[in-house]
Amino acid sequence: MLPTSSSTKGRSGSYARPNSFLPQYLRRIVKWQQMDIEYTFWQMLHLCTSPKVVYQHTKYHKQTKNQWARDDPAFVVICSLLLAVSTIAYCAAYDHSAGHAVFVVISVLLFHFLITGAILATFCWFFTNNYLREEAPNSHVVEQRVEWLYAFDVHCNSFFPMFVLLYVVHYFLSPLLVAHGFVPELLSNLLFMVAVSYYHYLNFLGYDVLPFLERTTLFLYPIGAVIVLSPILILSGFNPSRYFMNVYFSRLL
């Protein structure tokens, strides 16, 4: 049961809590003993197999901790480590310069995951709070808002299955996917289409679970654009695997 108070108190509390919570969250990043590693891997597994179960647990977290966002940075830390390891594997297979490999690992970690995630989370945080929130039925109900850290959690949840497809599965299939010909182009576009579509589906689940948001099906619309765009890219001969691999390993491909 959510606590009730005046709307003024609800607004002040919604901004005061993140200010005191975020420094504590950041401090826990360097404290492995305070992270729930087992639960994090459980979440990662179920995000790939039954993501609705993960967001059901998000409801329980809200009931017990009175916040939607995780208070444990383990998911971000482990996802970053896995991304770094997978990028090192790509460098070992396609790069011969240690200095360039370090650059690739850092740039992938920052731009593919953290910075892009922060930008997307900020956009979704702003969009949901300003355009998708239901109006409070009366002034005695707490005015609920999407926490920025929860928006970043949603991105991280959505990113992990995409990471499995586009960094892990793609790595083992890369000798085929970067080859010339129609079949590599077809398989590469299909792999990217499934990964990006699943990202947006999980994004939808993350905001649909919030009871104070409406019209969350808007987050499914990009899937339609991806499905329409994929055949066009295939017929035009575009191979996303070759394109993105050439960004980092152009001399080798």
pLDDT in tens, the chain (253 residues): 344 433 444 444 444 344 455 566 666 676 677 788 999 999 999 999 999 999 999 888 888 888 898 888 999 999 999 999 999 999 999 987 889 999 999 999 999 999 999 999 999 999 999 999 987 666 556 778 999 999 999 999 999 999 999 999 999 999 999 999 999 999 999 999 999 999 999 999 999 999 999 999 999 999 999 999 999 999 999 999 999 999 888 755 5
Instruction: Give pLDDT, residue 253.
Output: 53
Q: How many CB atoms lie within 10 A of CB 153?
A: 20
**Mind listing the pLDDT tens digit for each residue in 164-182?**
999 999 999 999 999 999 9
Helix residue spans in the chain (DSSP H): 7-27, 37-49, 51-65, 74-94, 98-107, 115-127, 148-163, 170-177, 182-208, 221-235, 240-249
**CA–CA separation, 221 and 203 (whole Å):** 11
pTM of the predicted model over 0.85: yes
Which residues, including other chains, have CB under 8 Å from residue 28's CB and lie 6 or more apart? 34, 35, 72, 73
**Mind listing the pLDDT tens digit for each residue in 63-82?**
888 889 888 899 999 999 99
**CA–CA separation, 128 and 121 (whole Å):** 10
**CA–CA separation, 71 and 159 (whole Å):** 19
Instruction: Give pLDDT, residue 64.
Output: 83
List C-alpha distances in Å: 15 to 20, 143, 148.
9, 11, 10
